[in-house]
């Protein structure tokens, strides 16, 4: 694993290096403007999928500030990570956004190298512009039991479904929406001894693996 600074001031963590086809993964966020952290869900998924896809590069992003109040900063960080991949030799990029990272990915998808966007329990607020998803592959994977409860973040599937339908009506022609029965918000949590998988974590990995296989073969 290789950590590198991004020109925006954020940080990237590379697995498998940069490849001609590279996946950029962006985290969720919260209301409070706090320093960025690595996503437990994305880290858990990369740990399992990177060995299966040695010909894909994986670039995880740690934002400068992980807050939806600074969505502009988070999007700049994602674009800087895409630029890092392209400058390293990537010709095609996929964006994988978890939670708030779904909104970040939808905005950063305007980058010409991006051909696929995958939202994992994505936050896609009703006023979020989705024009950048036109002519791209757009897939949403969401836990059927996901919801916000006090002290625990969440995004209801009904919310991401509205965003998905808006994307379809706005010109996305290659799209898929999948609910995971029995799953909550994401695949893993960070605990003092490492990463703890949530219910149906393997299903998250299986479905994302199918999207990555499709991206690799496209």
Instruction: Name the least confident of 46-55, 66-75, 84-93.
Output: 66-75
Q: Which residues pair with 176 in a beta bridge?
A: 139
Residue matched to tokens 């010709």: 91
Which domain, by its residues, includes 141?
2-217
Q: What's the full length of the chain, in residues?
A: 218
Residue matched to tokens 């409860």: 149
The whole-number pLDDT of residue 151 equals: 66
Residue 164 makes CB contacts below 8 A (sequence gap 6+) with: 124, 138, 140, 175, 177
Q: Number of structural domains, the chain?
A: 1
Q: Encode pLDDT of 149-164 as tens digits.
A: 776 679 999 999 999 9
- Binning pLDDT at 50, 70 and 90, where does residue 171 land? confident
The reply to whether the predicted model has a pTM over 0.85 is: yes
- Binning pLDDT at 50, 70 and 90, where does residue 33 land? confident
Q: Which residues pair with 14 in a beta bridge?
A: 2, 59
Measured CA to CA, the distance from residue 166 to residue 150 in angstroms comes to: 29
- CATH value at residue 182: 3.40.50.1820
The whole-number pLDDT of residue 79 equals: 98
pLDDT exceeds cutoff 70 at 96: yes
Q: Encode pLDDT of 129-145 as tens digits.
A: 999 999 899 999 999 99
CA distances from 157 to 54, 63, 80, 118, 179 (A): 32, 25, 29, 15, 8
Long-range contact list for 172-176, CB < 8 A, 24+ apart? Answer: 172/130, 172/133, 172/134, 172/135, 172/136, 172/138, 173/135, 174/136, 174/137, 174/138, 175/137, 175/138, 175/139, 175/140, 176/138, 176/139, 176/140
The whole-number pLDDT of residue 218 equals: 86
């Amino acid at each position: 694993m290789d950590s590198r600074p991004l020109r925006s001031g954020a940080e990237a963590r590379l697995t498998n290096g940069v490849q001609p086809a590279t996946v950029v993964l962006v985290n969720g966020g919260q209301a409070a403007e706090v320093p960025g952290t690595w996503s437990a869900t994305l880290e858990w998924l990369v740990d399992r999928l990177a060995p299966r896809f040695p010909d894909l590069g994986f670039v995880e992003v740690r934002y400068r500030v992980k807050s939806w109040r600074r969505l502009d900063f988070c999007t700049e960080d994602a674009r800087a990570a895409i630029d890092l991949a392209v400058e390293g030799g990537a010709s095609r990029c996929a964006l994988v956004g978890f939670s708030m990272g779904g909104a970040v990915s939808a905005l950063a998808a305007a980058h010409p190298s991006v051909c696929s966007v995958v939202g994992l329990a994505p936050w896609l607020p009703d006023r979020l512009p989705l024009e950048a998803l036109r002519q791209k592959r757009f897939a949403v994977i969401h836990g059927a039991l996901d919801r916000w409860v006090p002290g625990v973040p969440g995004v209801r599937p009904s919310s991401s479904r509205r965003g998905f339908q808006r994307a379809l009506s706005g010109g996305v022609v290659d799209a898929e929406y999948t609910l995971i029965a029995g799953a909550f918000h994401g695949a893993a949590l960070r605990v003092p001894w490492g990463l703890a998988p949530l219910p149906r974590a393997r299903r998250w990995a299986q479905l994302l693996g199918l999207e990555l296989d499709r991206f690799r073969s496209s």
